[in-house]
Amino acid sequence: MSIYLKYDSPVKFLDGAKLSVYNEWAHLPVSNTNYTMIYVTKGTLFLQSADKRYEVSPGHILFIPPETVYGSYKLSKAPVTFYWCKFTLSETGIGTKYRLKNLVNASSSYVTNPIIKEIFSNAQSGASEEYLSFLLLTLLYSFTNGSNKIEKHTKDNFKKILSYIDENISSSLSASDIANHFGYNSAYFSRLFMKKTGVSPMEYIKRQRIFMAKELLMRPYDSVRDIGVACGYTDEKYFARLFKKAEGITPTQYRNLYGKQE
């Protein structure tokens, strides 16, 4: 039985955990009422789903559709470690329908492994069902031929994030505030931002504020204090220290060197 999904298919994360076994082990036959994902990190699982057999080795993911019976057809030698999760998937989304292979190799994917780690680390820490479901949909979609749309979606969303920072540069911005505004987990957002820009969210905000301050200091009619406030710093002394650390001179010295004369 094939698995299909669309970009906006409703996915709901139900449950998941990590399992390690240190003796010969076999998965007893079970009836699968929901979708199941099994990701192996050590050893090999020999699983049969319906009439098909799969050798699930490290780095491979097996997706098992609902209404099927699956279990081991052969003992696995110890040690074996794998992650599993249960989820529901509706095919009611609009647009193109993409087929998801039952067995996929994720060992060489620079996208997949961080998402898998994010899913299970957040599941253990009690993250929201909505966030886990979002991560799961991103993971599922990365294995289809429509994955380039995920990348475009991420790029478009990141442009919105940068625009949001620029529009609120005078406000008291924090990485967690921005993450919450766009529905991201704070830690995941910071890693995503670092990957996209090479700097942390707060370092990016600081640089944008310093750049804005330099532009404003070119004008003769705004006080250093007012410029600091416009750039999100209500403490004039703190603003001056931050500016000097970044530029090597104080805001006043910068204005005297580069500012336009009245």
State the pLDDT at residue 185: 80
| Helical spans, DSSP H, in 52-174 | 112-125, 129-142, 147-167
User: Which parts of the chain sit beneath pLDDT 70?
Assistant: 1-9, 91-99, 107-113, 144-156, 260-262
Q: Which of 78, 72, 77, 35 is nearest to 54 (CA)?
A: 72
**Does residue 226 come out as left (phi exceeding 0), alpha (psi in the -120 to 50 range) or beta?**
alpha
State the pLDDT at residue 146: 46
Q: At the topology level of CATH, where does 149-262 sit?
A: Arc Repressor Mutant, subunit A (1.10.10)
State the pLDDT at residue 56: 93
pTM exceeding 0.85: no
Domain with residues 3-145, CATH architecture? Sandwich (2.60)
Residue ranges matching CATH 1.10.10.60 in the chain: 149-262
Quick one: CA torsion of 199, 203, 208, 214, rounded to 10 degrees? -120
State the pLDDT at residue 204: 87
Q: Cβ neighbours of residue 150 under 8 Å, at least 6 residues apart? A: 7, 138, 141, 142
Helix (H, G, I), strand (E, B) or coil at 189: helix
Residue ranges matching CATH 2.60.120.280 in the chain: 3-145
State the pLDDT at residue 262: 54
